[in-house]
């Protein structure tokens, strides 16, 4: 007998069931003919033994349950991201990439202020999605306002604030791009934003994860990152099938990348409501490290140089030249932190033709020299690992 044990009250459990069933129908029907569904409350060691299982696909919610599953001594595959570094074969959504997807989505829409609202209950995937969000935003040269007291150690680039949610939302710089690790967490953020008298999405944009039905039909429609749970269930069934045939997993953990972002009312506006400024900003982000100048940017839009400069400064509060410099320094920070390139090589790779100009720009935006920044990153990098 093979069993599937997941929570069934949300999209995740239902879609995982469909994925497993799709595999079962098309592979080894005799082996999968006795597939049963076990309620999560039946995952205690004594209850599990009563089923006389040959194999199990399970959403492991905690360390205790994982030990119960392992004590059975049968092939089992975990499909939950609730436990960090599970000690059993696992297929899960790439949660760090989910966070990066959210950050990229907002960065491409021109946002400069970012915030993260993790789950109130401590879950590994909530932290991983937040860390991915922070890392991507930080690489672009910005910081993330992180609500709440968990986790204990935040990565560089995140600023913790434990104020009550409504007060915190009021205090955030606007417009702000807020990311939450689930649609279920996005809905209360929306409620608190309205209670604070804030406009969604003009002042507060909100993005969740899971593409839950209630996100589709919520009063304003919650924008959401889709996660291919059906595919995850299918892959988990395929892995369990191989294990039942005596084959050992090639790796302990397999990560399934997130799907597309579904834009609805909570993000259906750009932080910058000027198409030519948006195009200029996008061109700078894509080509700043290629040694471009502001004349190159005007060739991408219909506005003249002076007009574009004036509109760019009016909308963003900075000049195009300053934005080019910021993007270059953000890229330099990443190269200094993650490679062994010589500082002169980093400067050239980021579009600086003069070493002294690189040093001046880097110190102006970071408060330290490139060599000091690299040394600091090397000292603190281990504590930032997700």
Identify the structural domains of the chain with CATH numbers, from first to last: 2-93+228-256 (3.40.50.2300), 95-227 (3.40.50.2300), 275-384 (1.10.10.60)
What residues are paired with 92 via a beta bridge? 255
- pLDDT of res. 384: 32
Among 85-94, 145-154, 274-283, 293-302, top mean pLDDT goes to: 85-94
CB 198 within 8 A of CB 169: yes
Reported in sequence order, the residue ranges of 162-288 that DSSP labels E, i.e. its strands, are 176-179, 204-209, 223-225, 253-256, 261-262
378 confidence band (pLDDT: 50, 70, 90)? low
Residues near 1 by beta carbon (within 8 Å), at least 6 away in sequence: 34, 35, 36, 51, 52, 53, 54
**Which has more pLDDT, 122 or 180?**
180
Angle, helices 229-244 vs 11-26, to 10°: value is 50
Could you report the per-residue pLDDT of 43-81, keeping only the tens digit for each? 666 666 777 788 999 999 888 889 888 888 899 999 999
Mean pLDDT lowest for which of 74-83, 107-116, 209-218, 331-340?
A: 209-218
SS (H, E, C) 188-242: HHHHHHHHCCCCCCCCEEEEEECCCHHHHHCCCCCEEECCCHHHHHHHHHHHHHH
């Amino acid at each position: 007998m093979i069993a599937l044990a997941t929570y069934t009250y949300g999209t995740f459990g239902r879609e995982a069931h469909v994925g497993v069933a799709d595999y079962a129908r098309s592979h080894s029907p005799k082996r999968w003919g006795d597939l049963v569904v076990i309620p999560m409350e039946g995952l205690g060691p004594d209850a599990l033994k009563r089923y006389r299982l040959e194999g199990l696909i399970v959403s492991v919610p905690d360390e205790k349950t994982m030990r119960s599953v392992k004590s059975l001594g049968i092939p089992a595959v975990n499909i939950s991201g609730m436990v960090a570094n599970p000690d059993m074969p696992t297929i899960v959504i790439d949660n760090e990439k989910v966070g990066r997807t959210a950050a990229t989505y907002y960065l491409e829409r021109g946002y400069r202020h970012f915030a993260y609202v993790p789950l109130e209950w401590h879950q590994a995937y909530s932290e991983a999605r937040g860390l991915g969000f922070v890392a991507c935003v930080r690489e672009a040269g910005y910081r993330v306002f992180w609500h709440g007291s968990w986790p204990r150690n935040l990565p560089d680039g995140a600023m913790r604030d434990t104020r009550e949610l409504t007060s915190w939302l009021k205090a955030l710089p606007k417009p702000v791009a807020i990311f939450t690790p689930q649609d279920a967490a996005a809905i209360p953020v929306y409620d608190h934003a309205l209670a604070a008298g804030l406009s969604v999405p003009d002042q507060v944009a909100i993005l969740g994860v899971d593409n839950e039905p209630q996100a589709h039909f919520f009063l304003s429609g919650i924008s959401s990152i889709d996660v291919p749970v059906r595919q995850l269930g299918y892959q988990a069934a395929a892995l369990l099938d191989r294990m039942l045939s005596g084959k050992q997993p090639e790796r302990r953990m397999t990560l399934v990348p997130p799907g597309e972002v579904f834009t609805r009312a909570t993000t259906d506006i750009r932080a910058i409501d000027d198409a030519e400024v948006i195009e200029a900003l996008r061109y700078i982000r894509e080509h700043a490290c290629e040694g471009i100048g502001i004349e190159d940017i005007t060739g991408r839009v219909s506005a003249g140089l002076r007009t574009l400069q004036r509109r760019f400064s009016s909308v963003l509060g900075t000049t195009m030249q300053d934005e080019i410099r910021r993007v270059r320094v953000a890229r330099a920070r990443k190269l200094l932190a993650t490679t062994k390139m010589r500082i002169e090589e980093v400067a050239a790779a980021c579009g600086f033709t003069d070493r002294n100009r690189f040093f001046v720009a880097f110190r102006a935006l970071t408060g330290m020299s490139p060599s000091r920044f690299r040394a600091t990153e090397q000292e603190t990098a281990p504590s930032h690992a997700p």
